């Protein structure tokens, strides 16, 4: 059991169990059922890029986060898994799960079996839908892959964001084009390559920006770059953590014959981003 924060397990009376990737509006319905000291018990066998880290989950929910290593529990049958929970959380009073939750070896048991097998009170939360479409992490990822940021954000209930380290760029932007901050992002699921209206956050401040994801025309390397649209005086050091919050998709990547054409297009992107962000605040 990987304890993300210092937690007194004997004080835990309620658990919400799931992967909680993205902490979308459906997840929030489960989290709302927890008591004040309820925690998120993360069980996630997915090894690819995710919509948020465990630290993000803590920051978004203000709930303690515990992660169970799936490899260590996948051989347990349903009753053994529940006995394990009762042993770890001696004062556990109830469990919260989604309608499609399954557990035990080969996912043989369903949400309704928790109370039958263990006697632990179980709250089963129905599917959460928007316009009759079920809100699920997989669908949010699909919207992001399509560049449909507005739809993804509506399912998340917030603007999708990623975090990354500030790295050294080409130096071409500040000399020939527009100065950019360059991010290295290894942990997060990235939306479709293209240009976006964004907020860029660092040192507890948020700035309107236009951002690029994809293969640069200038050197054919992959990059995540952000041009700040507002004045800022902060001196940033390499490896500082920056956060990029996506508001809307502006255009697909294009190949440019020369720097003049690229510069003209970036000027148009800047104007478009300013229009989109004019009346917007970070979420």
What are the pLDDT digits (tens) for 26-84?
999 999 999 998 999 998 887 789 999 999 999 999 999 999 888 888 889 999 999 99
pLDDT top residue among 206 and 44: 206
pLDDT in the model for residue 4: 47
pLDDT top residue among 2 and 91: 91
CA dihedral (210, 212, 218, 221) positive or negative: positive
Backbone angles phi, psi at 218, to 5 degrees: -70, -35
CA distances from 272 to 180, 207, 261, 280 (A): 17, 16, 17, 13
Are 193 and 217 a contacting pair, CB within 8 Å?
no
Which domains does the chain carry?
11-134 (3.40.50.620), 160-277 (2.40.30.30)
Average pLDDT, the chain: 90
pLDDT in the model for residue 102: 93
Q: Is the pLDDT of residue 256 over 90?
A: no
Residue 231 confidence class, pLDDT cut points 50, 70, 90: confident
Are 24 and 160 a contacting pair, CB within 8 Å?
no
pLDDT in the model for residue 105: 87
Q: Is the pLDDT of residue 176 over 60?
A: no
Q: Please give the Cα distance from 34 to 36 (Å, whole number).
A: 7
- Name the least confident of 136-150, 171-185, 205-219: 171-185
Q: Is the pLDDT of residue 128 over 50?
A: yes
pLDDT in the model for residue 282: 60
Residue 198 confidence class, pLDDT cut points 50, 70, 90: very high
Q: Report the DSSP pairing between strands 39-43 and 14-18.
A: parallel
pLDDT in the model for residue 280: 74
- Name the least confident of 57-66, 123-132, 149-158, 272-281: 272-281
Helices (H) and strands (E) in the chain, counts: 9, 16
């Amino acid at each position: 059991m990987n304890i993300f924060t210092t937690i007194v397990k004997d004080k835990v009376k309620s658990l919400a169990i799931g992967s909680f990737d993205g902490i979308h509006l459906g997840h929030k319905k489960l989290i709302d059922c927890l008591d004040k000291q309820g925690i998120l018990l993360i069980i996630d066998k997915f090894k690819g890029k995710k919509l948020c880290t465990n630290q993000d989950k803590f920051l978004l929910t203000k709930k303690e986060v515990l992660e169970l290593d799936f490899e260590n529990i996948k051989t347990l049958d349903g009753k053994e898994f529940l006995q394990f929970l009762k042993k770890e959380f001696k004062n556990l009073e109830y469990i919260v799960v989604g309608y499609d939750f399954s557990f035990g070896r080969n996912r043989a048991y369903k949400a309704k079996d928790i109370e039958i097998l263990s006697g632990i009170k179980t709250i089963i939360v129905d599917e959460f839908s928007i316009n009759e479409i079920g809100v699920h992490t997989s669908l949010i990822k699909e919207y992001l892959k399509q560049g449909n940021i507005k739809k993804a954000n509506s399912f998340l209930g917030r603007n999708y964001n990623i975090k990354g380290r500030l790295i050294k760029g080409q130096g071409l932007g500040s000399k020939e084009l527009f100065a950019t901050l360059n991010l290295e992002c290894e942990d997060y699921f990235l939306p479709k390559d293209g240009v976006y209206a964004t907020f860029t956050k660092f040192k507890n401040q948020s700035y309107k920006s236009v951002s690029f994801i994809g293969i640069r025309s200038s050197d054919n390397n992959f990059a995540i770059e952000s041009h700040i649209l507002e004045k800022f005086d902060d001196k940033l050091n390499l490896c500082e953590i920056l956060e990029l919050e996506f508001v809307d998709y502006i255009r697909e990547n294009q190949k440019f014959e020369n720097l003049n054409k690229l510069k003209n297009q970036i000027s148009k992107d800047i104007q478009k981003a300013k229009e989109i962000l004019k009346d917007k605040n970070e979420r």
